[in-house]
Amino acid sequence: MAAHRIVNHKKAKILSVLPNFSSFNYIETNFNSTPSIHRCFSVARSFDMKTLIVEDIPATGIIKDEIDEITEFFSDYRCSTIKRLTFWDAQFETVDEIKNIKNEKLIGYAIIKKDQSESSEIDGWHIFEAVFKKYPHKHNCVSKNINFKLKIVGYDFNIDGVLYCQQNQLNKACAQVALRTLIVNHTGKDISYRRINQLAGITPNSGKRPGSGLSVQEIRKILEGVNIPFADFDYTKDQKLRDSHPYHKFIYSGVESGAGAMLGFRLTGPNYPKKEDAPRHIIPFYGHTFNKDTWVPNADMSYFNVGGSVGYIPSASWTSSFIGHDDNFGCNFCVPKGYIKNHQVDYVVELLNEDVKYSGVTAEVLSLYFINSLESYLKGINSNNKWIQRLIRYIRQRRIILRPTFIKKEKYINSLADSKDWDANTEDAELLSVLSRLLPNNIWMVEISFMELFPANERKVGEILLNPYIEVVDPKQDINFELLLLARIPSYYFVYTGNFAKSSPPEFMTIESGIKSHLPVI
């Protein structure tokens, strides 16, 4: 599947892009001012691009497969040119110099195609794919990147990033390219557009053209076909879901856990006075920003939700924007969390990991119930630990912060083994060995923190660990304590031992912990 990235070039040109080179002139002359290509150059400029390599490459691998697929739908289609552009933070003029260029000097790459079909009125460039390395800003949070191997003018390089893809209105629309982005980033394996369309049931004999987009049902078929579990909401089927299940919570959960999310919405404006006539668009998300100085969580609790029933502060409150691609404009955009209004959104899908049975949003809700169930036990603990008393106070004041994320057991155990609390205490190695044997390979981890710890110091007072492989019908109605693997707070672990009924509180076994105060979040 990587043949198009490592295929040998037919010819190559090395360009210095230092002043007075004009990216505008170059793109206008060679690529018809395509906005997505402009975006690639802008991103590269932000990394202090100095050199551009332009290679003409033959059609091979999944690019050749795409050309064959389009030809099956449009007999007059032809692909006249394929170019592989690489952007460099290094100065060189000849091919021989490239062998001495360090891999980290590679900013990114873009493979672009020129598609022509007179019957479809298509004649232009689009980006088949592009990858750029992550911005150095520490508060741009991207949980997962994929390593892509490249052969550039005969030399091997690689780059970590998130695949960007663009529609061509022939064999792929916005939904197909969004799905390819997320599938590749989630599984680490590439997928062809022919395969995506086949999973949706779109073939030359199906009566539907793939460039017209995908329905919700077809998106579900594709995700099921590649064995990616998901949680989704089609808001057009139930308008009340827009407020009871806000889309931004599912995007946050998906990107925080590294699986990703997609958002579908309708266009608005004077050209579309009737909502039902407006076209739809869908974009993928893979990260978020973290604004430690945001005013929103404090104001929401103190000014705008006085006496409200919400019993915690979600960690998503410190997210200002989601990071994603828009195939119309280019890669790596920040979309403000509240910019797209609830009434404009038609569909959201949160991708899940492996065989997970429920969303991170559900894990967050469940953890609150388990924390509240522990409160009476916390009050009965004979301990001088002030952090336990603080936790009780924050639970009562409904001011605890909850941060759900999906994590492998090894990463959780290693984080405890490698961490020291604020007083330099560490966890007992033998206890960690026992936990390692008892916990499943993957867990929903919901970190517990306080307003004064989480944003500025990125620290926590404990976690709720949940079994991700048990079905959850309704977390507010069917509280299954078998989901609770354990709860950790300063000085103690709690393990559920049974006897839960509506008429009596659940019972827990306590295990002493060597960690007495707060730890860094993971």
Q: Is 350:364 a contact under the CB 8 Å cutoff?
A: no
Question: For residue 29, how many C-alpha atoms fall within 13 Å in the half-sphere facing its CB?
Answer: 6
* CA 399/CA 313 separation, integer angstroms: 6
Residues 6+ apart with CB under 8 A from 390: 450, 461
Residues 6+ apart with CB under 8 A from 267: 278, 279, 280, 281
Per residue of the chain (522 residues), what is the pLDDT tens digit?
Answer: 789 999 999 999 999 999 999 999 999 999 999 999 999 999 999 999 999 999 999 999 999 999 999 999 999 999 989 999 999 999 999 988 998 999 999 999 999 999 999 999 999 999 999 999 998 888 899 999 999 999 999 999 999 999 999 999 999 999 999 999 999 999 999 999 999 999 999 999 998 999 999 999 999 999 999 999 999 999 999 888 888 889 999 999 999 999 999 999 999 888 887 777 789 999 999 999 999 998 888 887 776 665 555 689 999 999 999 999 999 999 999 999 989 999 999 999 999 998 999 999 999 999 999 998 888 788 877 678 999 999 999 999 889 999 999 999 999 999 999 999 999 999 999 999 999 999 999 999 999 999 999 998 999 999 999 999 999 877 766 678 889 999 999 999 998 887 655 556 678 888 999 999 999 999
Both tokens of residue 469?
A: 């492989």
Which residue has 């959201």 as its token pair?
Answer: 348
Both tokens of residue 119?
A: 């019957």
Pairing of strands 484-489, 462-466: antiparallel
Global confidence as pTM: 0.94
Domain 3-351 homologous superfamily, CATH: Cysteine proteinases (3.90.70.10)
What burial letters (b/e) apply to 361-388, b meaning 16+ CB within 10 Å? bbbbbbbbbbbebbeebbeeeeeeeebb
Among residues 216, 176, 174, the alpha carbon closest in space to that of 198 is found at 176
What's the confidence (pLDDT) of residue 502?
Answer: 54
Ordered DSSP codes for 216-248: HHHHHHHHHHTT--EEEEETTT-TTHHHHS-HH
Q: What are phi and psi of 497, to 5 degrees?
A: -115, 0
Q: Is 519:501 a contact under the CB 8 Å cutoff?
A: no
What's the confidence (pLDDT) of residue 308?
Answer: 59
Helix (H/G/I), strand (E/B), else coil: 255: helix
Among residues 469, 464, 472, the alpha carbon closest in space to that of 447 is found at 464
What's the confidence (pLDDT) of residue 481?
Answer: 87
**C-alpha distances in Å from residue 82, one per residue of 40, 68, 112:** 16, 15, 6
Classify burial at 352, counting beta carbons within 10 Å of its beta carbon; exposed 0-12, middle 13-18, buried 19 or more. buried
Among residues 489, 402, 522, the alpha carbon closest in space to that of 451 is found at 402
Domain ranges of the chain: 3-351, 360-520
What's the confidence (pLDDT) of residue 332?
Answer: 96
Q: Is 187:200 a contact under the CB 8 Å cutoff?
A: no
**C-alpha distances in Å from residue 84, one per residue of 45, 50, 81, 125:** 18, 17, 10, 13
Among residues 195, 193, 138, the alpha carbon closest in space to that of 163 is found at 193
Both tokens of residue 439?
A: 């916990």
